[in-house]
Structure 1
Amino acid sequence: MKVSLLVLSVAAKVYFKETFDSLDKWVVSQSKDDYGKWEISNGKFHADEERSKALKTTEDAKFYAISAKFDQVFDHKDKDFIVQFSAKFEQNIDCGGGYVKIMPPGFKPEEFNGDTVYNVMFGPDICGNNKKVHAILNYKNENHLIKKQVLPGSDQLTHLYTFIIHPDQTYEILVDQESKASGKLIEDWDLLPPAKIKDPKQSKPKDWVDSPKMDDPNDVKPEGYDDVPANIPDPDAIKPEDWDDEDDGVWEAPMIPNPEYKGEWKPKQIDNPDYKGPWVHPEIDNPEFVNDESIYAYKSEYIGFDLWQVKSGTLFDNIIVTDSIEEANEFAASTFVVDAPLEKAAKDKLDDEEAEKLKQDLDKEEDKEDEHEEL
């Protein structure tokens, strides 16, 4: 067992890691001449002056496109694939993306845009009440969205997003190190045709009985049942004193629901002795289904942000792309896990300071109004 663990440890690789001490690795796309500008910032509140440096969007209502190259090509075959990064919607975002894209070899950073082919797209996306964590896989040049709903962090704090794809074509998505979705690629994405289809030669038999209940043939409608009216004249109604039959016509009491009326008669229901249960359409193997055990086996060499943001101010940090879950967990432990409580404390302090300032400003306004009234 020790030998196996040693081999795994040596084989594990980190293909990309970024803490944003600088933008030296990153190339801004030239696909548009009006892309939004990026900067290195630790935000309005943070855990640590240096450790909290992050990549920040700075201009409202702009597209953004920036990318960086891995240290080496990541051949996913027979390996776990993990992409992990943090996103902080400090601006209390109303509409904008916060996801990364993983691109294959041959990608051209200066031409990066929304039409660029990618292998994987992953991360939060918020627009109004539509909030989700995207997990999109490219298969045979088509992008396929995950069918499960995964919700992102919805406050102004930093949240950690992790996407793991295993060689057995299972996956897991975590937010803040808590599992939010897991399963099989071929089940949670429409990547392949269904393995089974309804047999087109089969149809529901005409004599199939799928009603569990039936009318009791021995139940007979009571004599005179239909003679009871649904409404009757109100016995308590009194003809108005000023009613004139010659001018107003013959007075009739208003109608009210008849308490004796029981509704339309229906026979009692009994168990249907011929009931066979719901009919299930027989299935056959889909002749168009061909299993593919290499869906996961991308080759990747670049990571990038291709975003639209109505309100800027998002901060991205602590990106890692690796084939080792242990490496991703250790990186999270030394960054997100350490910083999250410190950042929360900094946010609470800022909120208290802003609330106090607002109170002082309101007090000053009230004092001015009082002085004006005295004059």
Structure 2
Amino acid sequence: MRLWWCLVALAVVLDCCPVHGEEDEEDFDMGDEVDIEDEPEPEVVKEKVIVQYVPPRAKGPTNFHDAFLDASAIGKRWVQSSAKKDGVDADLAKYDGKWSIEEPEDQPLQGDLGLVLKSKARHHAIGAMLDKPFVFDDEPFIVQYEVKFQNGMECGGAYIKLLSQTPDLELKNMQDKTPYTIMFGPDKCGNDQKLHFIFRHKNPVTGAYEEKHAKKPSGNFARIFTDKKTHLFTLVVNTDNNFEIFVDQASVSSGNLLEDMTPPVNPPEEIDDPNDEKPEDWDDRKKIPDPDASKPDDWDEDAPATIVDEDAVMPDGWLEDESELIDDPDAEKPDDWDEDMDGEWEPPKIKNPLCEDVGCGKWEKPTIPNPAYKGKWKPPMIDNPTYKGEWKPRRISNPEYFEDMEPFRMTTIAAVGLELWSMTDSILFDNFIVTSSRDVADEWAADTWALKQKQEGASGSADSVVSGLMNAAQDRPWLWAIYALVLIIPLFVCFRVCFRRSPSDAGEAKKSDAASPDDETKEEGEEGEEEEAGEEEEAGAAGEEEGEEGEGGVRQRKKATKADLEQSADQEDAPAESTEAAGDTVRKSPRKGKGKTRKE
């Protein structure tokens, strides 16, 4: 039964392991001779299925969509910025990062093109005007695009900016200060991973714009920066102010523009008066020193904290003439020591072994805490009778207060732009779409991203489970403990099942205990002798075993009964009882059910 459970446990563990090959369907006869060189096993080559790219078509109204069908679109539809970044050194101020429309390095769809950021450690800026400006009126806003970090991501962004419609908007002059309505997309530097959703809200009182940031997504999206696959990013902002963010069509964040943005869209009705000042006579001290307290006459502020222990005496055995450190007698001057260059060689110092017991060197009396020490005197603290509490400025009406219950109605969007800095190159963008229909966006994704996902998933399916677990643990470190338990528990159970001792084995071990010579000389047929009653003198046998002369030692055996035989199988060996009589040894066997011994 134990072997059966062991096999079951091993089967479970092996079943959890990935299988990287196929079993041979034919049985192999160990008696057959096979010439490995003459009959090599054919190598199985898995052919990669090539899927021809079919340009997608938007199946409904859009404000913008681009699948990069034209490799020469840069300079036409897509305009590269030639501006300079303000407040940066001249060498870095230019937006001179290179862009290209080309096929991915690992092509899931034959003939598919995308917009690729080609340079690292450079400022990049490129944009395209919408076919139709998006006006935030009575329809949802949806923007969707693909990103593929072909070389992973060390530090940089792949977010987009939906540029605001302004009279002076020129894509060739686009820079970091170009007004935008929404910024959306992934960003990473080191371990700081973000998925931005920022919108600029206009204060209807002052006319100033302020950035409103959505909370950090709760879903796991760390894998997008490392797996080198195509990922789909979707932002949906509804007319009721609710928004939702999707990565690969899975929701990772949602909220409301009025409730889940930082800082809040609507400012507080009241604020602290910036001109209010605390009065000079305002006492905000809870405790004060007691003005009526005085230092006691016997308080000595000059007394030291420690004094010499005058009662101390030098311990016996203290070696005042010995040094605490001595030259190492085992040290030798190195062969390459040059006294002209290195100076006179001196052996290193070690602790004097003679000082280990008591001590060496000049003995001085130790110091002890001074019982008269009190330190600097301070008056005790009492409640402040003039305490007025913590001062706070008075509250006044916020002169910039407003209440905007429809923050969805943002500034009209006129263009899509990419204004990025990256330490990693070869970031591919593809299949942009801006629309007010979720169905149109989903169908666009089905004709583009879904096909790529299928192809990339087929090529990397072997690592998908492991990479998924690793990525999940990046945001949730406590998952490592669960992974460890999942691995350790089956191994522990398998070990326990395979190597634990069963009760029957324990019984056999007791019966076969080699502590008694009676058991070693026991032969078949002694069962009949166990039924005989009486006592047997062992003096002769004892004399032979001990090799002594004199009176023979007598060993008596109690008549073995059936109850004794049954009981002896479950009892542990009892220590032998010994008595001495006239120099002879008398031994009583603890195994009453084992039968008589024979004279040796």
What interval of TM-score do these two structures reach, taking the shorter chain for normalisation? 0.5 to 0.7
- Give the structure 1 partner of residue 142 of structure 2: 82
1:341 paired to 2:454 = yes
Distance 2:111 2:213 in 1: 37
More displaced, 239-248 or 42-51? 239-248
Return the match for 1:25 from 53, 77, 92.
77
Does the 8 Å CA contact 2:266/2:404 hold for their aligned counterparts?
A: no
Matches within 5 A, 1:1-375: 13-22=61-70, 23=73, 24-32=76-84, 34-51=95-112, 53-106=113-166, 107-140=169-202, 141-149=209-217, 151=221, 153-155=224-226, 156-189=228-261, 190-193=263-266, 242-243=357-358, 289-297=401-409, 298-346=411-459
SS of the aligned residue for 2:177 comes to coil
Larger radius of gyration: 2
CA displacement 1:251-309 (0-9 Å, x = unmatched): 9xxxxxxxxxxxxxxxxxxxxxxxxxxxxxxxx99866532133222311210111111
| Cα separation, 1, equivalents of 2:145 and 2:356 | 84
Q: Which runs of 5+ in 1 are unaligned?
A: 1-11, 201-238, 252-283, 350-375
Whole-Å separation in 1 of the counterparts to 2:158 and 2:361: 80
Q: CA RMSD in A?
A: 3.2
- Deviation at residue 88 of structure 1 after TM alignment: 0.8
User: SS at 2:259's partner residue?
Assistant: helix
Q: Helix, strand or coil for the counterpart of 1:192?
A: coil
In the alignment of these two chains, the number of paired residues is 270
Aligned partner letter, 2:159: Y
The structural deviation recorded for 1:97 is: 1.0
The DSSP-based 3-state class of the residue aligned with 1:326 is helix
Rounded Cα–Cα distance in structure 2 between residues aligned with 1:250 and 1:292: 81
Between 1:240-249 and 1:127-136, the stretch displaced more is 240-249
Hey, what's the Cα distance between the residues in 2 that align with 1:244 and 1:119?
Answer: 80
The AA in structure 2 aligned to 1:322 is: T
Q: 1:40 aligns to what SS in structure 2?
A: strand
Q: 1:318 to 1:197 in 2, by over 3 A?
A: same
Bigger RCO of structures 1 and 2 (CA < 8 A, at least 6 apart): 1
Deviation at 1:330?
Answer: 1.1
1:163 and 1:61, CA in 2 relative to 1: closer, same or farther beyond 3 A? same
Give me the TM-score of the superposition, normalised by structure 1.
0.64
The separation in 1 between residues aligned to 2:248 and 2:270, in whole angstroms, is: 39
Q: Does the residue aligned with 1:14 lie in a helix, a strand or coil?
A: coil
| Distance (Å, rounded) in 2 between the aligned partners of 1:45 and 1:322 | 29
Checking the alignment, whether the CA contact within 8 Å between 2:140 and 2:236 is kept in structure 1 is yes
Tell me the secondary structure at the aligned position of residue 258 of structure 2: helix
Question: 2 CA distance for matches of 1:82 and 1:178?
Answer: 15
Alignment-mate amino acid for residue 67 of structure 1:
G
Q: TM-score, normalised to structure 2's length?
A: 0.41
Distance 1:241 1:163 in 2: 76
1:126-179 deviations in whole A, cap 9, x for unaligned? 111111111110112222222334645222111111111111111001111111
Q: Which runs of 5+ in 2 are unaligned?
A: 1-59, 85-93, 203-208, 274-316, 318-354, 367-394, 463-600
